[in-house]
Amino acid sequence: MKNLRLFVGLFLLFACAGALRAFATPPMVTNVTAHQRADASGLVDITYDLFDAQGGTQTVYVAVSTNSGGRYDVGATSFSGAVGAGVTPGAAKHIVWDAIADLPMVSSTTVRVKVTADDSVYTDLFCIVDVAAGPAAYSYPVIFSSVAPPLNDEYKTTKIVLGRIAAGTFAMGSPTNELGRDSDETRHTVTLSCGYYLGLYEITQAQYSNVMGANPSFNVKGAQSATRPAEMVSWTAARGGIWPGGAPDGAAFMGRLRTKTNRAFDLPSEAQWEYACRAGTTNALNNNTNLTNTYRDGNMDLLGRYYCNGGGTYVADPTNGADAAVGSYQPNSAGLYDMHGNVNEWCLDLYGAYGGNATDPAGADAGTNTYRVIRGGSWCFAAGECRSAARRYYSQDYTQDDYGFRLCLPVRP
């Protein structure tokens, strides 16, 4: 991060949220500058001028790009100062960005920042499902919030929290020189035309029990069992039904959750999963590093439970279990935990070869194929099998003690 240099230009935003005042002049952001401090702190000072004809307070956002402004899709959050809701118009507004916290491994002249403003306050950055009432509940409350919930066990047991992922375009798959690459990872361009929410954590044993009334997990030993990922879950038990083009089975986890929330919760598509995992990165791991070894790798050690940083202890002592409590390792810049390792995560798609550049791909066509894609690797995988682009597939009825999932929800228009 020592030589991070940020280059910015003039950015204007025409406010477009539902609370936009009729016929109002949109707010305007001008004179954006960003400079990294000369000390070793890695802090970046961002200044801008904010004008609003009506004089009201604004909600100010900062977007970050790591590819020279091609996509502003990095989930950076470490901002303070004149950012967020309630910013008054004026000159020389000041934001401090802790760039190292959001981009710990990036040292590049391709980083850009964009400052925008809106008359309204977005209240839907996080989706929270309250499943505390258990499987007999008639319904589960769903709320949307602009404030990140605390990272405590309540949101890993009785509540399920999802973060909003913006629509965008990315390079899916891996370059031909990526260490550990498999032949089915052909790199191609994918556009996701709609935003969606994705679980910050894998569904835990407590959350699964609160919805389904039972816990199928094998690794249920120890004090942390409630916050460890639910496993021994097949694609059929998690989702079932028909895909592409059909709804979940009503008796599956997704079917029950849909009935009790009246919202279209589902598994992510394979493209949605990789886009969210990468969060703007292009290297093998979502802290934007590459592997130095496909078996044991120091970068992978930081990001999730895999065979070489604790998962392998299961072989010697199965009473310890093999996976870790969700959220035990570093998140990516979108705030998602355990996208590498812990348990394999089911995706919607039937497995097949990539079909080239695509918009909102749904995976292989249905037929006799019952093999569903799993992503992320697990506690019993080596580092190379936990890369952002790594693909595996299994029969949709198959269960194993390293198979789990996380929730996805489309953003409503």
Q: Taking CA 404 as the corner, what is the angle to CA 402 and CA 410, rounded to the nearest 5 degrees? A: 155
CA nearest 67: which of 110, 33, 24?
110
Q: Taking CA 211 as the corner, what is the angle to CA 209 and CA 215, rounded to the nearest 5 degrees? A: 20
Token pair listed for 369: 């194929």
Point out which residues pair with 337 in neighbouring strands. Answer: none
CB neighbour list of residue 72: distance below 8 Å, 6 or more residues apart? 63, 64, 65, 112, 114
Q: What is the structure's pLDDT at 16?
A: 30
Bigger pLDDT: 119 vs 67:
67
pLDDT over 90 (residue 288) = yes
- The one-letter amino acid code at 236 reads T
The helix/strand/coil state of 207 is helix
Q: Are strands 391-395 and 403-404 parallel, antiparallel or unpaired?
A: unpaired
Average pLDDT of the chain to the nearest whole number = 87
Token pair listed for 352: 């097949």
Q: What is the structure's pLDDT at 10?
A: 29
pLDDT over 90 (residue 389) = yes
DSSP annotation of 180 reads T
Report the pLDDT averaged over residues 368-382.
Answer: 93
126-410 folds as: paralog of FGE (formylglycine-generating enzyme) (3.90.1580)
Which range has the worst mean pLDDT, 138-152, 316-330, 344-358?
A: 316-330
Give the integer Cα–Cα distance in Å for 142 and 335: 20
If you write DSSP's letter for every residue of 41-84 in order, what string do you get?
A: T-EEEEEEEEE-TT---EEEEEEEESSTTS---B----EEES-E
Residue 47: CB atoms within 10 Å: 18
Q: What is the structure's pLDDT at 368?
A: 73
DSSP annotation of 396 reads T
CA nearest 252: which of 198, 199, 219, 203?
203
Q: What is the structure's pLDDT at 137?
A: 96
Token pair listed for 82: 């004149």
pLDDT over 50 (residue 22) = no
CA nearest 267: which of 404, 368, 383?
404
pLDDT over 90 (residue 358) = yes
Q: Are strands 391-395 and 28-36 parallel, antiparallel or unpaired?
A: unpaired
Report the pLDDT averaged over residues 41-49.
Answer: 91
- Residue written as token pair 């970068």: 299
- In the chain, what are the domain boundaries? 28-118, 126-410
pLDDT over 50 (residue 12) = no
Q: Above pLDDT 70, what percent of the chain?
A: 87
pLDDT over 50 (residue 90) = yes
Q: Are strands 371-375 and 196-199 parallel, antiparallel or unpaired?
A: unpaired
pLDDT over 70 (residue 18) = no
Give the integer Cα–Cα distance in Å for 93 and 116: 12
Q: What is the structure's pLDDT at 24?
A: 43
Which regions of 180-286 does DSSP assign to beta strands (E)? 188-192, 196-199
Token pair listed for 272: 């949605």
For 179-237, what is each residue's pLDDT tens digit?
A: 999 999 999 999 999 899 999 999 999 999 999 999 999 987 666 799 999 999 999 99
Give the integer Cα–Cα distance in Å for 195 and 333: 17
Our separate counts of H helices and E strands in the chain read: 8, 19
pLDDT over 80 (residue 7) = no
pLDDT over 60 (residue 2) = no
CB neighbour list of residue 12: distance below 8 Å, 6 or more residues apart? 28, 29, 30
Q: What is the structure's pLDDT at 21?
A: 28
pLDDT over 70 (residue 406) = yes
Q: Are strands 344-350 and 403-404 parallel, antiparallel or unpaired?
A: parallel
